Amino acid sequence: MKLLLLLPLLLGLIPSVKADSVCVLTSEIEPDVTIKLQKIKGLGKSFGTLDYKDKPAYRFRTAVQNGYWKHYYVISELSSDDSKKNVDVGRFLEFVGNQPAPGTPKEDRKPGKLRVILPDMSTSYYYHLDNVPNEKGYGRFNQSPLMKSILKASDNFFVASNEECSNGYFIYGGNGWKS
Amino acid sequence: MEIIKKLLFIPILFLVLPLDAKEICTLTSEVEPDVTITLKYIGSAGGIGTLNYKNKPSLGFYVGIWNGYGGQYYTAMSYSPELLDEEKTYQERTKNTEKITTGHFMNFVGNQLGRATSIEDRKSGKLRALMPSLSQGYYYSIPFTKDGEFGRQKLSKEMKTIIDATEGFFVNSGGCRKFFPYGWD
């Protein structure tokens, strides 16, 4: 009987814990396009998916390059197991509000929203789309709504949509420079 | 009489100098104003010039536009005085230079992305450029430190300032409108 009373509470708690451990980055221009990431061990490392209308469309992961400490992302096909099917590898350029996070001196920093831009993604994604239409007739020159939205989103900023993104996903922007 | 003739020429000299200066686009680093990019327009939203530290050329610089999907790009290269010789072809001007890096030359108007902002959302602002791959490309072009000299492990003031500058925005300080094909007034 006690267990039955606790059951709704337990069931209600478990999904919310899972949701909280995911950082959601939402396209500012195409809100149907989101990046959902889970933190893994290592500086700036995370993995997840790029979603369209809440359904995974591509794999997405981030990491940091040694040497210059570039924070980068890798986007690949959902089905791929190897790097040959990468759609793009590029800089995960962090912003806090309107300030580029790696390039803003400490004394000039203003608190703001955590945002990211993926400068190379739109071009790479465009050329990743096959110029021969797929079985549904979609391709580089006749883009599906998903393709159009991802292309448009990748030319603009993504903004952190939940607090989880302040937990180590942004190595330069941290928690949005809040003290 | 001769002196009067010379005096009459002086205003003409003042007219010529500003005109020449107007043809040059100057982009100034927002975080390190000692770092500038000066470019001479050659057409199709592009031009050739230099990246300068304290008004002296450090690197050669080229801005152009991509075919196909479009977008604008820059190429940074080692500096050679021939780069600024307008009598020569692009190939002749760049034959003694070494490419350092190439990447996106992102157009911003104020804080809005030039290419991605819809017409109805556009606000007027300063023309600004961001080159997200330049800092890293420049860093790796610096040779390893040898015998106590400046190098990648021991950066000179100039090297450090250029790295800091290229992580941030460059703003139009005059004459750059043609270099921002995705911008607006």
DSSP one-letter string for A13-30? HHHHHHHHTEEEEEESS-
Contact criterion met (CB < 8 Å) for B139 and A29: no
ipTM of the predicted structure?
0.84
Low pLDDT (below 70) residues in chain B: 1-22
- Answer yes or no: is A14 within a domain: no
pLDDT in tens, B54-78: 999 999 999 999 999 999 999 999 9
- Which among A126, A155, A158, A171 is the top mutation candidate for probing chain B, defined by the most B β-carbons within 10 Å of its own β-carbon? A155
Q: Within chain B, what is the greatest distance between any pair of CA atoms?
A: 65
Decide if A135 touches B, using CB distance below 8 A: no
Residue B122: what pLDDT?
96
Going from the C-alpha of B156 to that of each of B73, B84, B139, the distances in angstroms are 27, 26, 12
Q: Which residues of B touch A91 (CB under 8 A)?
A: 132-133, 136
Q: What's the mean pLDDT in A49-71?
A: 95
Residue B21: what pLDDT?
53
Domain of A135, in residue numbers: 22-166
Residue B3: what pLDDT?
56
Look at residue A117 and tell me whether its pLDDT is greater than 50: yes
Q: Which residues of B touch A29 (CB under 8 A)?
A: 116
pLDDT in tens, A50-59: 999 999 999 9
Q: Give the predicted TM-score (pTM) of the model.
A: 0.86
Residue of A nearest to B138 (CA): A68
- Chain B residue set in contact with A, beta carbons under 8 Å: 31, 66, 68-69, 71, 103-104, 106, 111, 113, 115-117, 130, 132-133, 135-136, 139-140, 164, 166-169
Residue A81: what pLDDT?
64
pLDDT band for A11, please (50, 70, 90 cuts).
Answer: very low
- Answer yes or no: is A15 within a domain: no
Give the burial string for A48-87 (b: 16+ CB within 10 Å, else e). bbbbbeeeebbbbbbbbeeeeebbbbbbbeeeeeeeeebb
Q: What's the mean pLDDT in A72-88?
A: 81
Q: How many domains is chain A built from?
A: 1
Q: Which has the higher per-residue pLDDT, A30 or B12? A: A30
